[in-house]
Each structure stands twice: as structure tokens, then as C-alpha cells.
Amino acid sequence: MSKTNEIPAYKNPELTIDERVDDLVSRMTLEEKISQMLYSSSAIGRLDVHEYNWWNECLHGVARAGTATVFPQAIGMAATFSPERLFKVAAAIADEARAKYNAARRHEDRGIYKGLTFWTPNINIFRDPRWGRGQETYGEDPYLTSRLGVSFIKGLQGDDPQYMKAAACAKHFAVHSGPESERHEFDAIASPKDMRETYLPAFRDAVKEAKVEAVMGAYNRTNGEPCCASKTLMQDILRDEWGFEGHYVSDCGAILDFHEHHKITSGPVESAALAVNMGCDLNCGWIYEHLAEAVKQGLVSEETIDVSVKRLFRTRFKLGMFDPEDRVPFNKIPYEVNDSDEHRQLALETARESIVLLKNKDSFLPLNKDEIKTIAVIGPNADRKDVLLGNYFGLPSKYVTVLEGIQQAVNEDTRVFYAEGCALGETPESFWGNPPTTGFAEALTVAEKSDVVIMCLGLSPDFEGEEGAVAESDGGGDKVDLKLPGLQLELLQAISQLGKPIVLVLLNGSPVELNWPHDNVEAIVEAWYPGEEGGTAVADVIFGKYNPAGRLPITFVKSIDQLPPFRDYSMENRTYRYMESAPLYPFGYGLSYTSFEYSNLKVSREELSTEDNDDLLVSVEVENTGKLAGDEVVQLYIKDLEASVRVPHWQLNGVQRIHLQPGEKARVEFTLTKRQFALIDEEGKCLLEPGVFRIYVGGQQPDERSKELTGQEVLSTEIKYTGTSVEMEY
């Protein structure tokens, strides 16, 4: 074969990806290379490189790209406490992503939100309930966030030995959780201990365990360095310590912030050079258009640009974008898997598992629909579609609101009354001369005529979310307080005066104040932003078709007075791990319609050495002692009783969600590594110290408030580590 007929190395699928990438990039001009470092990458016709838009979202379903299955918002999925469930959801999302990508590509649609590089999951720690984007996360606990994040990434990227189904991106690296209104200029100050103990573990596991393909930097600075140009985060920790080999992408507009808001560079040329020199490969924004000038001025070398461009193409090659159609198995995924009945059922199952029963006075729930002739469904969230979706959502072909779910669930001869009662954020100031309780009359009327009242209150994406995307927030996306917006509490109080039993259904992405409802209504159901089948799931729980078992992934405090200042990133007095006062509803809490009994807590050894690498096996028996089948969320916590530094009260280190029939008993086993008993000292070192550790196992935290709410205690045992302190790999 003559050389003129030989295919270029980058088009030869028999070669390694690195060989192909090196060949392709060697053929490019500087301008062509730079064009690939912008999120909207240009086509290079002479090399058969198609244009590609890197920006795609799939937080809880393929987002912003038309019709797709919408699963519960991330905080709701976290409430399942089930890594297995998140893996299934992410795998389904990846199938839909491929189906939509395949279809769009056939029609030459290569625009935004149509690709395979997804800027998901958000594994920031939800350290303060005021943060508007907390709904996108997996809650406040590093261990739970890590386990769920790893599962989601693995489900999204797939396990094919040669190709990724889709590329995941862990964001926002690192120490990012508000305030939204100041994110472009804010400097989040976190101690080495808090960094390693709280803010970094989920990212570490995403990189080292899940092999996440991309990491996105945050807008803010962390300890003085902008997160998209931080030597500490991007080079020292991410690449040198953890061995990250994927690509790094800026949050959108974050590099512009260098000179516009952080004031650490003189302008766009210097900002572009700084970001690339620190290892930011892809610019969501347009500042990298100035890279040619930066090279000309000697601020960045073409060799450094080559490194970034090769990382980006490595991702595209791993996705099969340069291989023959029939070599990539995911090219065969048909469009029909998108928004399919199978995925709708998965969305329903996930929504059911996400629901947390917060209160159930005298076992008021589940309702017997054969004994109820009239139901009043009242509240501004009863029939709203947007509270099913949260933020970063796709568009399902069918929505089921709570009102519709109730209507579909009751008997044919049962009358369901509906009244909005008040608008979600309605206040006395909203009216011009009319009384602010205009809608109360209808709500009171239908409540009077009903056997039971279902109140649908909470928040909506208009009240919490990302900076610039929230209509009703005075906090730039964050909440300024934890109260139910507007007249919702007044409406609830007015209805309660009638003496009718009330089930409060909350639809929200973050905690709200529930002191009065806790004391005055029969039952409280936390439904989050539950996705396209949310109304069905809520009705299934209310009428007993499904036995709830969700757990809170974030503490519900009694009031904002229990919180440190929002801008303070110290973990002191934050989350269940360090909070000193008792919350209203603790992390890990949730009720069931049945009861579970724990017994025979055993450990494989009561004494271990810090010098050995032996794992500890922990087992416990769990029995369903009630009359209904149901799930139980078995939680394991570790408390260091002799630590040399401040450590959490206790720390979640194991979770399993199991299903038991009435009278059924199962033995649940956990394997604990010695690393799980290590602490982080004030310098950020990971140390396993000799001493005594208490292990707790049960369906909740070992705190007094959980015991008070459930009437249950957890089991505990102690083990001892002997030897000397050993520094461990983080």
C-alpha cells in the first residue's frame, strides 16, 4: 500500500488512544488547538474533526435537551441511602444520553446539551441549609456523598473495557457551597483538617475509585487561590497526589472572574495563561480566545497547550467519537429507550425510595382509602409541575403532580377537593387593597367538607437554586431564612383550626422550619423535588401501597439560630458530625410503617494493631417485627473515644438498604478498613492512632434526638487499636 493510501494514525482504532491522540494533535496549528479548548469546540474540516459542545447536564436525568426521563432531584436520590439505586439511575441516564446523542448526530445537530460529556455529579458538601444549590448534592455527609457519587459516576461511564458510555464530571472542586451571590469573588477559608475531613473525600473517591473522567473547578477562591487556577487543588492534590488523568474544566465564566472579580490578574490574556498553566484544560466561556496572544507574550507555551488539548481528545476518543460506527457498542442504543416505560418505572421506584416519613402520630398513615369518602388536597405545591423537576432538568412526556397522584389512587366514589389556598410566595405586600388571605376561604371550605386534609407546601426552584436563576430569592439563589415562604404557615394554621386530620407533604430541595407543623399535624411526608412520577410516589406512601424508608441526608435544624454564619466554612457546629444543639430532625432519620429489631452485633476482632492491614468485619441481625413488608436502612457509625484532636461526634462509615418481609430476619455485614478508623489532624495528616473506638449500628444515628423521635436505640460495641500512631495515605 502506498503512503498516500495509508490512514492517519489517529484514525486507526487498532492503535492505543495515546498514540492516536498524539498523532492528531501533532497535525494541528496553534489556532486549531486553542479552538478545541473552548466548550464550544470548532470543527477542523481538513482533519475530519467535527464541532463538539462539551456542555451537557444530567443531574437527575438528561437535562436541557428536550424530552427525557426526570428522576428525583439529587438530594432526593440521596435520601434513598442506596448506592445501588443511584447506579441504576445513572446507567439509565447514560442510555438515554447515548440514545439522544445518536439521534442528534444523525441529523447533524452537534449543539449545546447534545453531547456525551456531562457536568455531573455535584458532590459538594451541603454544609448549610441556606445554600440554594444544596438540592443538587447528596447532602451533608462526606461518606454518603462519596458512596453515592462513586456509584453515579460508575453507572454513567459504564464498564465497557474500551469505551465510556458517557463521561462524568465531579464538581465543583472544591470547598463550594455558597453564598451564591458572592461566588464570583468569595474566598472560602477552610483549615487543612476541614479540607481533608469534610470537603475533599468525595472528590478523592470520585478520582481514585470511580475514575471520573473530568473535574470542574468552582467559581470561588479556596484559601486565597481561585479554584480554576489553584496549584494546591489542581496540581498538588488532584494530579500529583490522587493521580487524576482526565481533563479539568472551568465553571462557566470562572476564568473571567480572575480579573473581573477576584482581581488576581490584569486581564483576559493573563487569566487565560494562568488557568492553562495550572492545568485547566477546557474553558466554559470565551477567555481562551486570548491564548494565542498569551503564547505570543510568552505567558504560556504551546507545549503546555498541547497537554490540555491531548487530555480533551483522549476523552473524545474514549467515547468512541473517532472510531467506525460498528465498533462502538453504544451507537446501537435506539432512541426508543429515551423516556421509556421502563425508565418511568425506575423513576417511580426511585421517588418512592426517596420519600422520608418525618412524623406519623399514632400511626395515622397509611390511610385506608376504603374508609375515606372525601379528601381535600390544598396548597400551592399540590398541582405544580416545577416542584417535580427541581433545577437542571429535562422535560418528561408525562407529569404526575401530587393532586393527580391522589386523584388516581383513591376509589372511584371518593371525592377529591382541591384548593391552592395561597400562592407559594404570597405575602401581605403582594396585594393592592385586597386581604392577603383571599384564597383561604376556598381552602377552608374544601377542608370543612373532607375527612382528611393533605397539605402540599414547601419551596420551589423559584426560591432556591443557582445565582441568577432564581426569581423569588433575596439571597441570589440562597435562602435568607428557613421559613416556609409567604403565607403557607398561616394557611396551615388556619386549616388546623378546623380540627381535621392533616398530612403535610413537603416538596422542596432543602430544609425548612417545621417546628409548628411537627407539634400540630398528624403526619409529615418529605418528598423533595420527586421527578416525573412524584405524585404517584407520594400517593403510594400515603395510602400504604409503598412503605417509606427514606432517610434525611441533611440535618433539619429547629431554626436559623442553630447555624453558624453562612460565610464561615469551618465545620465547627455544622452538620450532625459537629453540631452541639439538638436538631428538629437529625441526619439519617426516617420512619417506617413497620418496625425493625437489631440483635447480635458482632465484630471479627476486639483488638487490632495499627501496624497491621487487617480489615474488621462487623455483622448484625435485623428482623422485621411489624406487620408490613418494608425496607430498612442499616447505618454504621464510628466514634473515636480517645482522639488527640477534635473529631466528629461520630461518623457514618457504612450503609445498606435491605428489604424484609414481616417476621423475616437477615444478617447484614460490613467490612471496615483501618483507614476508616483514622483521623485527620490539624495539619491535614491522616493518622491512625491507638485507642478505643465505639461502633454503632442501627436504623438511625446514635443521638438522643433520633432515639426520642423513633423510640429506638442503636446497638454498639467497642474495639481497640494497639501500637503507635501511623500516618496513612489519604
Catalytic residue numbers read: 251, 464
Question: Quick check: 559 and 513 in contact, CB under 8 A?
Answer: yes
Q: Which residue has the cell 475509585?
A: 209
Nearest to 322 by CA among 3, 31, 6, 17: 17
Phi then psi dihedrals of residue 46, to 5 deg: -65, -20
Cell digits of residue 32: 486549531
The Cα–Cα gap between 288 and 228 comes to 13
Residues 575-586 as b/e (b if ≥16 CB within 10 A, e otherwise) read bbbbbeeebbbb
User: What are the residues whose beta carbons fall under 8 Å from the beta carbon of 359, sequence distance 6 or more?
Assistant: 517, 518, 521, 522, 523, 524, 591
Half-sphere exposure of 497 (CA within 13 A, CB side): 9
- Residue 630's H or E segment, with its range, is strand 630-640
Percent helix, strand, coil in the chain (nearest 5)?
35, 20, 45
Q: Check if the beta carbon of residue 607 is closer than 8 Å to that of residue 722.
A: yes
Q: What separation in angstroms does the CA of 5 have from each of 8, 79, 481, 582?
A: 9, 58, 69, 75
How far apart are alpha carbons 669 and 671 in whole angstroms?
7
Angle ∠(383,514,183) on CA atoms, nearest 5: 80
- CA dist., res. 632 & res. 624, Å (int): 9
**Cis omega (within 30 of 0) for bond into 174:** yes
Task: Round to whole Å and give the CA distance between 145 and 326.
Answer: 37
Distance, in Å, from the CA atom of 441 to the CA atom of 211, rounded to the nearest integer, reads 57
Cell output for 158? 459504564
For residue 571, give the nearest of 204, 225, 193 by alpha carbon: 193
d(CA 474, CA 481): 10
Distance CA 473, CA 495 (A): 27
Q: Is 508 exposed, middle or buried (0-12, 13-18, 19+ CB in 10 A)?
A: buried
Which residue type is seen at 3?
A: K
Beta strands in 481-550 (DSSP E): 502-507, 523-526
Paired sense of beta strands 374-378 and 452-458, if any: parallel
- Distance between CA atoms of 252 and 273, rounded to whole angstroms? 17
The C-alpha angle 427, 428, 429, rounded to 5 degrees, equals 85
Q: Check residue 317 and give left, alpha or beta (phi > 0: left; psi -120 to 50: alpha).
A: alpha
Q: Could you give the residue ranges of the DSSP H alpha helices within 60-200?
A: 74-78, 83-106, 142-157, 192-194
CA gap 209, 481 in Å, rounded:
38
